Chains A and B, each alone.
Chain A
Amino acid sequence: MEAADPGGTARREPLVGRRLAELSERQGWVHHVVDADTGEVLTTPLDRPLAPLSRAERLARLGHRIDLPSPWGPVYRLTPRNPYQAAPLNWVTFYDAAITLPEAQDEVYWSLRRTSIAPPTCPGCAPISTSRRSSAASSPSPSRRPPGPERWGTSRSRDRPAA
């Protein structure tokens, strides 16, 4: 008896994997530096993978000084295979992914139709969210809530287990 595959992942995975393999033949690299307080975005196409010195230089253009060779403070990394950590409490949630952890890789795929346009209020159009909860907080500032149905992203995040 075969395992249930309601999402058709087993059928999609070879097709999407092949398509991504084809695209990766023309791989490029891009570095975006975003000051989310001002909305300023610096986008730099690169001809090779991102390197730490030039990365720090671009961050400095927006007023962020990065001490090299090592950054200060602890760094926490979340991946599809390790999306949750208890201390400090952080997690990442994926919505409407086409494929999660294909062939044991630590990745999530989204495959979107070329004609699809995600409206701002579409409840299924927020594929990634990450949260870091402070002990005193219960909800974000109204001015900082995401566009669209405000309870959608935040309420799902709160369904995650507490530390």
Chain B
Amino acid sequence: MGHIEIAGSASGLIPVTDSYADHTVDLSFAPFPGYPVEVFAFLRAGLHQVVFRSITLRAERVVVDPTRI
């Protein structure tokens, strides 16, 4: 078992099992207002071969939480 660690504007720990597989990671987070978004992926112990193909970025719609108004 290995991991890919997501850090920066977003964070998370993606588990990767021993078998070779195509991993799709849907990562969502609220960016810190007024600051750039920077996301890092760290290859952690347990990974042997990694292939990166693409990253897709999309801004979600702003949702106002009515309970906080």
Partners in one complex: yes
Digitize B1-40: 1 where CB-to-A-CB distance is under 8 Å, 0 elsewhere.
0000011111111111101111111111110101111111
Secondary structure at the B interface, as helix, strand, loop or mixed, is: strand
A11 located at the interface, meaning its Cβ lies under 8 Å from any Cβ of chain B in the complex = no
CB-defined contacts of B48 to chain A, threshold 8 Å: 111-112, 114
**Docked complex: A34-51 residues within 8 A CB-CB of B:** 34-37, 39, 41, 43, 45, 49-50
What range describes how many residues of B lie at the interface?
35 or more
* Least distance between A77 CB and chain B CB atoms (Å): 5
Query: Contact between B29 and A36 (Cβ–Cβ < 8 Å)?
Result: yes
Query: Contact between B51 and A107 (Cβ–Cβ < 8 Å)?
Result: yes
A36-B28, A130-B57 in contact; A109/B38 too (CB < 8 A)?
no
* Least distance between B20 CB and chain A CB atoms (Å): 4
A136 located at the interface, meaning its Cβ lies under 8 Å from any Cβ of chain B in the complex = yes
A/B interface sample: 8 pairs, CB < 8 A: A27-B22, A32-B14, A72-B60, A74-B58, A94-B52, A126-B40, A141-B35, A153-B38
CB contact between B14 and one of A29, A34, A112, A140 (< 8 Å): that residue: A34
CB-defined contacts of B35 to chain A, threshold 8 Å: 134, 137, 139-141, 144
CB contact between A145 and one of B8, B16, B21 (< 8 Å): that residue: B8
* Least distance between B23 CB and chain A CB atoms (Å): 5
Query: Contact between A36 and B57 (Cβ–Cβ < 8 Å)?
Result: no
Q: Which of A34, A39, A76 has the most CB of B within 10 A?
A: A34
